[in-house]
Amino acid sequence: MREKGPLVHCITNYVTVNDVANVLLACGGSPIMSDEIQDVEDITSLCGGLVINIGTLDQRTIPAMSAAGKRANALGHPVLLDPVGAGASALRTRTALELMEGLELAVIRGNISEIKTLAAGSGTTRGVDADVADSVTEEDLDGPIALVQSLAAETGAVIAVTGAIDLVADGERCFVIRNGRPEMGRITGTGCQLSALACAYVTACPDRRLEAAAAAVAAMGLAGETGWANMAPSDGNSTYRNRIIDAIFHMDGAALDRGARYEVR
Amino acid sequence: MREKGPLVHCITNYVTVNDVANVLLACGGSPIMSDEIQDVEDITSLCGGLVINIGTLDQRTIPAMSAAGKRANALGHPVLLDPVGAGASALRTRTALELMEGLELAVIRGNISEIKTLAAGSGTTRGVDADVADSVTEEDLDGPIALVQSLAAETGAVIAVTGAIDLVADGERCFVIRNGRPEMGRITGTGCQLSALACAYVTACPDRRLEAAAAAVAAMGLAGETGWANMAPSDGNSTYRNRIIDAIFHMDGAALDRGARYEVR
Amino acid sequence: MREKGPLVHCITNYVTVNDVANVLLACGGSPIMSDEIQDVEDITSLCGGLVINIGTLDQRTIPAMSAAGKRANALGHPVLLDPVGAGASALRTRTALELMEGLELAVIRGNISEIKTLAAGSGTTRGVDADVADSVTEEDLDGPIALVQSLAAETGAVIAVTGAIDLVADGERCFVIRNGRPEMGRITGTGCQLSALACAYVTACPDRRLEAAAAAVAAMGLAGETGWANMAPSDGNSTYRNRIIDAIFHMDGAALDRGARYEVR
């Protein structure tokens, strides 16, 4: 990963874009942000992968997402979709579904509510966070696993659902990952950062998309644990944000191997 | 506040949006950012309150502010206006005045120059910071208090003016709050963060708008004091930013009661 | 610099805008961000200098860049161009060239690939980072120095090329500056921050543009060194970002004089 230094084109929301850029640099990749339709095809052509995050979509950027995705597909670059808020508004749901339909996606990463919305073709979620009723728990793993595997089979994309327990699946196997800390939900953008990280990993290892996406999910969760361990008593969510990215900066393959907690189903 | 976990829709500038999201999460609320006119009505319907901050307004987002505000009004959600730079440009002044005219605002929060501009219906300020000539001082409190109370009576909104001394008033009472540190002015976005915080507090306590807005102002000032007390010698404004949000993360009602310094006039 | 408190209008990318605002506040200046064509002329008129950074340019903001630049020119305010990604896309190259042609620029600051593109009138770079083949090294200083001096003579602007070795030149003299740390490249936005800093310095000292721009370049590099010296073992690039801005916050003229490492050619 650090040797390949994948260059990742991000069309991503303006809320968390700085952290997305820094986490890509932390993991050894490089970010380029561009959302202008006259610019995105040139930019994506220079890169190795593309993240489409619809967190602050607008009428100007939606066609740019589609154009960039098509160019990335034509070049064989992996495209990751982060359907932020799918189910929370008609525009977000429709846009996410149209991008799924129009593009060949390597990975779709969202919370369980967003992924359920995409699987159902419609839905309602509580804003941009997962609905409590939708949470993935130890008591009910089979349902969510079946859901993500079925969506993976249908779309050809690796599906990554993150929450208290993370699921990363293709049509055949599902990684169940138990890294992370609940306090990560008190920081804006850990999901967006993970999407960028997963795209960087898949760009570096295109032949092992499932394992690469699962490694990114475990790495982000592990960084959440390491970052939390480095917190001083007066530190809160803003410092925690820095410590997580810092932990990615220092993480190597050996640390990830030691710290990753997962099973394959 | 932390029990209710208010969901706040923010149409806010891209300069400080990440800190705005993190401060909302720090105080126990949740942020959703959306500024696309096709999206904002759905999003605001999911939320409990709406922040309209015109810091980086543009022709695309101004109609979205208005549409979101009207929907929030129809649903009875509190709407807070942060008229960033009113008086600094004709567009900002006009937009702020039109939003005041077209919407029922629960709170208007700005610096004294911005609030004077709104009261006068026109004005000139030194950019987005308060003009020195406009500052609220112990020697001249009566004038500013009369101004904010009169604007509050006229608009029906709670008016919050923040600076060295903060004033939060409705048509009858005015909280004079003396928390905070001058170094907060050396960080971008403490005002924007406060606006989001005040909207979250008012969303959680809609029946006591004045007290809720005043509590948010005192909480932000107190966080500025606590954050400053946690500074190491080499820390500067970038770290201070994190420490203030961290202080909000750790603040509870008891700490706020102990630390708030205010009088009611 | 700190006495004059220059007010700087920034039309800058949304990736690093918050850090740009905080670094301006750290150095004693004040930022105002506005990219709406109906707003920029009023805003730039209030300010002392203008930064145009094309990092996330779009069809809406390009005409605003031009309009703001023309107004700043008419008022005699220094205008700094940061041609982010010139050479990486046709739109970026064309936009940078058109801004150079249409405006009188006080400073152009970029990496060597971007500056080569502007000098050649076309080019290809590896995204928004400098191409390795283009790097400025001790072994080959004469070529890059000739390049920047020739571009400076042609355009009338001070040209600042930053990388492992920084060059700041007008048509006659070239400062070769050796401050900084390679780890600064692992943070997003140190270049954007430097552009804002250089604009603030030139705004404060309009009669000594070359020295002011060189001082800003040395200050940013020195802040990178000081910030790195303040790193704890678990700190990574996200904390480093804060520590650099913090170092600017604490820097004074004496510290800069002591720490600046440069020669004039």
Q: What is the DSSP string of A103-116?
A: S--SEEEE-HHHHH
pLDDT level of residue B1 (50, 70, 90 thresholds) = confident
Euclidean distance between CA atoms B97 and A130, whole angstroms: 37
**Chains in contact with C, counting 3 or more C-beta pairs less than 8 Å apart as contact:** A, B
Is residue A228 situated within a structural domain?
Answer: yes
The alpha-helical segments, DSSP class H, found in chain A are 17-26, 40-46, 61-75, 90-102, 112-120, 142-155, 190-204, 209-229, 237-250, 253-259
Partner residue opposite B39 with nearest CB, options A60, A89, A188: A89
Instruction: Tell me whether residues C249 and B128 touch, CB distance under 8 A.
Output: no
How many alpha carbons lie under 13 Å from residue A233 in its C-beta half-sphere? 2
CB C31 within 8 A of CB C24: yes
Partner residue opposite C188 with nearest CB, options A31, A242, A248: A31
**Chains in contact with B, counting 3 or more C-beta pairs less than 8 Å apart as contact:** A, C
Q: What is the percentage of chain A residues whose pLDDT exceeds 90?
A: 91
pLDDT in tens, A74-90: 999 999 999 999 999 99
Using CA atoms, how far residue B92 sits from B57, B122, C32, C45, in Å, is: 8, 10, 13, 14
CB C219 within 8 A of CB C202: no
Searching chain C, which residue's CA lies closest to the CA of residue A19? C238
C187 contacts in A (CB within 8 Å)? Answer: 22, 25
Euclidean distance between CA atoms C199 and C80, whole angstroms: 6
pTM value > 0.90: yes
Which tokens is C190 given?
Answer: 């140190």
B88 contacts in C (CB within 8 Å)? Answer: 32, 42-43, 46
Searching chain C, which residue's CA lies closest to the CA of residue A20? C15
Mutate to test the interface with B, among A19, A23, A89, A193 (most CBs of B within 10 A): A89
Task: Render the burial of A135-158: b for 16+ CB within 10 Å, e for the rest.
Answer: ebeeeeeeebbebbbebbeebebb
If phi over 0 gives left and psi between -120 and 50 gives alpha, with beta otherwise, what is residue C5?
left
Amino acid present at C232: A
Q: What is the percentage of chain A residues whose pLDDT exceeds 70?
A: 95
Partner residue opposite B59 with nearest CB, options C17, C36, C46: C36
Backbone angles phi, psi at C74, to 5 degrees: -60, -35
Which tokens is C83 given?
Answer: 């041609």
Q: Which residues pair with A264 in a beta bridge?
A: A175
Q: Is the pLDDT at B71 greater than 70, yes or no? A: yes
- Give the closest residue to B54 by CA, choosing from B116, B115, B101, B96: B96
- Identify the three-state secondary structure at position A182: helix
Rg (CA), chain C: 17
Is residue A152 situated within a structural domain?
Answer: yes
CB A179 within 8 A of CB A221: yes
Euclidean distance between CA atoms B196 and B13, whole angstroms: 12
| Strands lying side by side in the sheet with B30-33 | B30-33, B7-11, B49-53, B79-82, B107-110, B158-161, B166-169, B174-177, B262-264
Per-residue pLDDT of chain C (265 residues), as tens digits, is 788 899 999 999 999 999 999 999 999 999 999 999 999 999 999 999 999 999 999 999 999 999 999 999 999 999 999 999 999 999 999 999 999 999 999 999 999 999 999 999 855 455 667 665 678 888 889 999 999 999 999 999 999 999 999 999 999 999 999 999 999 999 999 999 999 999 999 999 999 999 999 999 999 999 999 999 999 999 999 999 999 999 999 999 999 999 999 999 9
Is residue C65 situated within a structural domain?
Answer: yes
* pLDDT, position B131: 67
Rg (CA), chain B: 17
Q: How many CB atoms lie within 10 A of CB C124?
A: 13
Euclidean distance between CA atoms A142 and A65, whole angstroms: 34
Euclidean distance between CA atoms C124 and C85, whole angstroms: 9
B241 contacts in A (CB within 8 Å)? Answer: 238
A226 contacts in C (CB within 8 Å)? Answer: 234
Using CA atoms, how far residue C239 sits from A55, A101, A241, C166, C212, in Å, is: 25, 40, 9, 24, 28
Q: How many CB pairs under 8 A join B and C?
A: 102
pLDDT in tens, A165-214: 999 999 999 999 999 999 999 999 999 999 999 999 999 999 999 999 99
Instruction: Tell me whether residues B26 and A237 touch, CB distance under 8 A.
Output: yes
B39 contacts in A (CB within 8 Å)? Answer: 57-58, 89, 91-92
Among A15-29, B16-30, B136-150, C211-225, the range scoring the smallest mean pLDDT is: B136-150
* pLDDT, position C134: 76
Output DSSP code: residue C129: S
Is residue A186 situated within a structural domain?
Answer: yes
Which tokens is A178 given?
Answer: 């138990």
C249 contacts in B (CB within 8 Å)? Answer: 186, 236-238
Instruction: Tell me whether residues A249 and C236 touch, CB distance under 8 A.
Output: yes
Mutate to test the interface with C, among B113, B114, B117, B188 (most CBs of C within 10 A): B188
* CATH code assigned at A171: 3.40.1190.20
Give the H or E element holding residue B51: strand B49-53
* pLDDT, position A126: 52
User: Which residue carries 């839905």 as its tokens?
Assistant: A123
Instruction: Tell me whether residues B128 and C39 touch, CB distance under 8 A.
Output: no
User: Which residue carries 């993935």 as its tokens?
Assistant: A136
Q: How many CB atoms lie within 10 A of CB A93?
A: 25
Q: Is the pLDDT at B122 greater than 80, yes or no? A: no
Using CA atoms, how far residue A96 sits from A84, A110, A114, A253, C223, in Å, is: 9, 11, 10, 33, 43
How many alpha carbons lie under 13 Å from residue B243 in its C-beta half-sphere? 24
Q: Is the pLDDT at A229 greater than 70, yes or no? A: yes
Mutate to test the interface with B, among C8, C39, C190 (most CBs of B within 10 A): C39
Is residue A2 situated within a structural domain?
Answer: no
**Chains in contact with A, counting 3 or more C-beta pairs less than 8 Å apart as contact:** B, C
Domain span at residue C90? 7-264
Which tokens is C160 given?
Answer: 């600042």
Is residue C148 situated within a structural domain?
Answer: yes
Searching chain A, which residue's CA lies closest to the CA of residue B249? A236
Report the number of distinct structural domains present in chain C.
1
Q: Is the pLDDT at A128 greater than 90, yes or no? A: no
* pLDDT, position C121: 85
Is residue C1 situated within a structural domain?
Answer: no
- Give the closest residue to C156 by CA, choosing from C86, C216, C73: C73
C91 contacts in A (CB within 8 Å)? Answer: 36, 38-39, 42
* pLDDT, position C163: 94
Average pLDDT over residues A240-262: 98
C19 contacts in B (CB within 8 Å)? Answer: 238
C32 contacts in B (CB within 8 Å)? Answer: 85, 88, 127-128
Euclidean distance between CA atoms C106 and C78, whole angstroms: 5
- Identify the three-state secondary structure at position B259: helix
* pLDDT, position B121: 85
A11/chain B closest Cα distance in angstroms: 15
Euclidean distance between CA atoms C238 and A247, whole angstroms: 9
pLDDT in tens, B198-232: 999 999 999 999 999 999 999 999 999 999 999 99
Searching chain B, which residue's CA lies closest to the CA of residue C20? B15
Mutate to test the interface with C, among B56, B89, B131, B241 (most CBs of C within 10 A): B89
CB B64 within 8 A of CB B40: yes
Average pLDDT over residues A123-133: 60
**Residue A127 burial (10 A CB sphere; 0-12, 13-18, 19+):** buried
- The H helix count followed by the E strand count for chain B is 10, 9
If phi over 0 gives left and psi between -120 and 50 gives alpha, with beta otherwise, what is residue B130?
beta
Is residue C109 situated within a structural domain?
Answer: yes
How many alpha carbons lie under 13 Å from residue A73 in its C-beta half-sphere? 18
Average pLDDT over residues A148-153: 96
